[in-house]
Amino acid sequence: MRGSLIQHHRDIDHLLSQVRRIAVLGIKPEDLATQPAHMIPAYLHRVGYEVVPVPVYYPDIVEILGKPVYRRVSDIPLRIDIVDVFRRPEHLEPHLDDLIAARPRAVWLQTGIRHDAFAERLLAAGIDVVQDRCLMVEHRRWRQAG
């Protein structure tokens, strides 16, 4: 089954209503807490989501937000609802096979991140995609509307 390109508020709201576990690809450690790649996952953790850290750099870091880190999304032994991605568009391709192998319900590309060919491959693999939207902003909007 083909995934859906999620663009409208009602579809984002539906996705958010079913999410429990979010893997964060490209998360930053606590010493970079003011950067969006830490600040947004910390917010998601505070509002009750199970956040699974998948840093791209920082090989010596073993824990972020009190959770063990994984080096690949497909290494996470639990079902992932959303993979929230903090990687520049030109750095997405190396993660494609890992994301497809992990089979999350959706891949969420943060604000400023859009890569139509990458998204198309995920959609063809049956994974929903959100592009160029902030998960924290959309979550706050959804909570206020609900």
Distance CA 138, CA 27 (A): 18
For residue 1, pLDDT over 90 is answered with: no
Q: List phi, psi (to 5°) of 41.
A: -60, -35
User: Domain limits of the chain?
Assistant: 9-145
CB-based contact 22:84 (threshold 8 Å)? yes
Tokens of 68: 């063990």
Name the CATH architecture for the domain at 9-145: 3-Layer(aba) Sandwich (3.40)
Distance CA 89, CA 127 (A): 18
How many Cβ atoms are within 10 Å of 14's Cβ, its own excluded?
12
Q: What is the pLDDT of residues 94-104, one digit of tens each?
A: 999 999 999 99
For residue 26, pLDDT over 90 is answered with: yes
Per residue, the 3-state secondary structure of the chain, as one string, reads: CCCCECCCHHHHHHHHCCCCEEEEECCCCHHHCCCHHHHHHHHHHHCCCEEEEECCCCCCCCEECCEECCCCHHHCCCCCCEEEECCCHHHCHHHHHHHHHHCCCEEEECCCCCCHHHHHHHHHCCCEEECCCCHHHHHHHHHHHC
Q: What is the pLDDT of residue 145?
A: 84
Q: What is the pLDDT of residues 57-91, one digit of tens each?
A: 999 999 999 999 999 999 999 999 999 999 999 99
Its pTM stands at: 0.96
